[in-house]
């Protein structure tokens, strides 16, 4: 079993999402398909963004995923539930690296996946990067 770092050594997460494992998430080996991990992470990020006290997207600035790194540590089985912890690993002018850990809610030392994604805010009309919204800067700095 792969274990997560002691939670006392980690900063407080930006957000923790609870995700239920669905039957349709399984692959032929009866565990969650590797591509579904990205769907879980997307859901956690959207939940976090929706909980922010302000606008994080408008017609001139919206986030896109520029890169992702996933380290698959343990298979996730059905039935079950996972917790996804999101952390700010890096804050740039127009991008944010969001680190993540997918863990067992009953045993936070049981690590299913860790890694990060890079989100870049861009203007959809021009395709060029734009400054991070204030609400993102504030949330990531606390």
pLDDT digits (tens, 9 = 90+) for 118-132: 999 999 999 999 999
Confidence at residue 62, expressed as pLDDT on a 0 to 100 scale: 96
**pTM of the entire predicted model:** 0.91
Residues 35, 85, 108: CA angle, nearest 5 degrees: 100
Q: Which domains does the chain show, CATH number per domain?
A: 11-141 (3.10.129.10)
pLDDT at position 85? 98
* Mean pLDDT score, 71-90: 97
DSSP helix/strand/coil, 34: helix
| Burial degree of 113 (CB within 10 A; 0-12, 13-18, 19+) | buried
Interstrand relation of 15-20 and 62-72 (parallel, antiparallel or unpaired) = unpaired
User: What's the mean pLDDT when you consider all of the chain?
Assistant: 93
Cβ-contact 82, 134 below 8 angstroms: no
């Amino acid at each position: 079993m792969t274990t997560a770092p002691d939670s006392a050594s980690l900063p407080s997460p930006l957000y923790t999402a609870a995700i239920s494992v669905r039957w349709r998430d399984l692959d032929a080996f009866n565990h969650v398909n590797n591509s579904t991990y990205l769907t879980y992470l997307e859901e956690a990020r959207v939940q976090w963004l929706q909980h922010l006290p302000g606008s994080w997207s408008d017609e001139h600035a919206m986030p896109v995923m520029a890169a992702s790194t996933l380290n698959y540590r343990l298979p996730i089985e059905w039935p079950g539930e996972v917790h996804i912890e999101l952390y700010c690993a890096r804050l740039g002018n127009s991008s944010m690296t969001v680190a993540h850990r997918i863990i067992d809610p009953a045993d936070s030392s049981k690590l299913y996946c860790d890694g990060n994604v890079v989100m870049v805010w861009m203007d959809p009309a021009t395709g060029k990067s734009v400054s991070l919204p204030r609400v993102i800067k504030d949330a990531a700095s606390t």
